[in-house]
Structure 1
Amino acid sequence: MQNRIIKALIFNKQVRLYLLNNTHLLNEILHMNQGSNIISKEALANSISVMSMLSATLKGNQRLSAALSFDQPKSKIFVDTDAHGNVRGYANDFLLSSSKNYSTVKELIGLKGSIRMIKANDFNQFTGITDMPYQDLDRDFSHYFKQSDQTETLIKTTIHWQGNKEIKNSYGIYAQLLPQSPTHLLNKVEEHFQSIQCVLNEPKTLINSEIFSLLNQYFGEGEIIGESNVQFFCGCSKEMFFGLLHSVDAAELKGYLHSRDPIISTCNRCGRNYSFNEEEIKLILGELNG
């Protein structure tokens, strides 16, 4: 179930439930944000997990983007996804280079945190903004849907770290009430989150019939309605940035050659770094002078 979402209806089709394991996806993206301290990494990983699950709510060409601002307004995290399960995200340079040593994600969010989300397709877009009153990413994303969509939603994520760099396991649930359903059903889902973590933590040993049985055990009559995958995708490439370097002044390029420093270009959509060495810089200069 790595990078996989299982979609189900539970409590006699009164609640929509998505189960996620995105361990590989998080490690892939976090390796591109190696400058992050552990707290910003935790916040980024948590945000990516939430947006991974939200990809399953999209249809057709819909895309969902989230921008999170924190107590220091210039500190931001950006994550976006689409209906095909493509996910990318990064923490901005201000947050990565901040000299403030946060001890918790709650401290990072602070009292001025906000979530701005844009849901768009080929023809229109909707923008919603909410505060982050809980200073807890799961609860604040749930709060967003209650405020912007008037929909009771439960989002829970769990991330197990190996040291400060690698994630051992990442999984989560997204539960949303269907119309006319009683709100206490979400409380029951939250109560049993720990009980179903075996489904999310050790999914390779479970087939769908076993998952179905576990869902019925904890959530009454249930039905698995589908599956989807999530994966990292960004359209950036080294070739694209190589072309952009042709707009750099020749004198500046010569300065890099003199200092023997590589040119590092960073994609502002996913945080991936591209390095250009001395030979590549000379090639660009030769094309500019040609």
Structure 2
Amino acid sequence: MKMKNYVLKTLAYNKQVRIFFLENTDMIKEICNHGNISKSLKTALGKTVSIATLLSGTLKGNQRVSIKINASNRNYKLFADVDSMGNIRGYINDALLNTPLDNKNKLSVEELIGDKGYIQVLKDLGMHSIFTGTTDMPYGNIVDDFSYYFKQSEQTDSFFSVNMVYDGNGEIALCRGIMAQLLPGAPSILIDTIKEIISENQTILGESENFKEIPYLLFRDIEVVEQFPVQFLCGCSKEVFYPMLYSLNKEELVEAYKSEKPMEIVCNVCGKKYSFSSQEIKGLVQ
């Protein structure tokens, strides 16, 4: 079976740099296209999820990474989390998803984030070892802000690129990403060289039909060391949403039970709907 969403892990420049190439068009369509999400929100969520997916290539064992993007308006947040198996989730919180922003489709990501946004990253390294990092977002475009995050929080020279292309109807047609990180001992000037090469060859990233050829088209000294699949996995279930019903006050539950109408809860992450019958609600009341 052909792999649709995957990461190519490579080493370049005499193995001084690791460069990951991500093809995740189908996955980003699946994550971003449920519900009525504006183009600006699709772009912000697609970039956040793509970066989280690239980071999955750095994880081992049962490690995982959770990302939270906080806009200047502290009610507006985007989330993504990923594990070492390449299982990805990403979603927008209710306040941002349902906000009546004027001309949401015309907003840029920078306007959406504002000038006081910040990134929070939580790494679960296993064995009760948790690393957390927080930096501001001086660029406001999410992608360059993650390069800044790694430089400031983890002292690692990094470069990210996410290329999202839309069709004439405003739907996602393509999504690809690149992450480059210097390995210990590599000269810092290499990251600027890589950034320049990628920035000058965006056409290759967007138009090349054979994704696996891209590393060789961009760099001479490069070796593909691994290819691994990535996939959207929400992990929701009906049982997960019972606590949400418990959080309602008893009067609401009694009214729902007496009306003999089911209550429906929609998962923010995947859009799946779960229905609770009046008898199930009665069990909660009792």
TM-score between the two structures when normalised by the length of structure 1: 0.84
Q: 2:111 is aligned with what amino acid?
A: E
Structure 1 residue 220, shift from structure 2 partner: 2.7
**Quick one: distance in 2 between partners of 1:135 and 1:196?**
21
**Which among 161, 182, 191 is matched to residue 196 of structure 2?**
191
**Quick one: distance in 1 between partners of 2:146 and 2:91?**
17
Show CA shifts across 1:125-151 (max 9, x none): 011000000112110011000001111
Count of matched residue positions in the alignment of Structure 1 and Structure 2: 279
Structure 1 residue 174, shift from structure 2 partner: 0.3
Q: Contact conserved, 1:23 with 1:169, CA < 8 A, in 2?
A: yes
**Quick one: distance in 2 between partners of 1:66 and 1:246?**
28
Equivalence for 1:100: 101
**Local SS of the residue matching 2:30:** helix
**Quick one: distance in 2 between partners of 1:50 and 1:178?**
19
**Quick one: distance in 2 between partners of 1:222 and 1:5?**
15
Equivalence for 1:71: 72
Q: Which moved more, 1:101-110 or 1:243-252?
A: 243-252
Which consecutive unaligned segments of at least 5 residues does structure 2 have? none
Equivalence for 2:226: 226
Q: 1:234 to 1:289 in 2, by over 3 A?
A: closer
**Quick one: distance in 1 between partners of 2:31 and 2:20?**
22
Show CA shifts across 1:96-148 (max 9, x none): 12223352110111111100101113321011000000112110011000001
TM-score between the two structures when normalised by the length of structure 2: 0.85
Query: Is residue 2:15 matched to residue 1:13?
Result: yes
Query: Is residue 2:184 matched to residue 1:179?
Result: yes
**Local SS of the residue matching 1:141:** helix
Equivalence for 2:56: 55
Q: Contact conserved, 2:89 with 2:233, CA < 8 A, in 1?
A: yes
Structure 1 residue 197, shift from structure 2 partner: 5.8
**Quick one: distance in 2 between partners of 1:73 and 1:189?**
34
**Local SS of the residue matching 1:88:** strand
Q: 1:223 is aligned with what amino acid?
A: E
**Local SS of the residue matching 1:159:** strand
1:120-131 pair list within 5 angstroms = 120-122=124-126, 123-131=128-136
Query: Is residue 2:62 matched to residue 1:82?
Result: no
**Which among 143, 149, 158 is matched to residue 153 of structure 1?**
158
**Quick one: distance in 2 between partners of 1:250 and 1:69?**
33
**Which among 266, 277, 280 is matched to residue 281 of structure 1?**
277
**Which among 158, 166, 172 is matched to residue 171 of structure 2?**
166
Equivalence for 1:139: 144
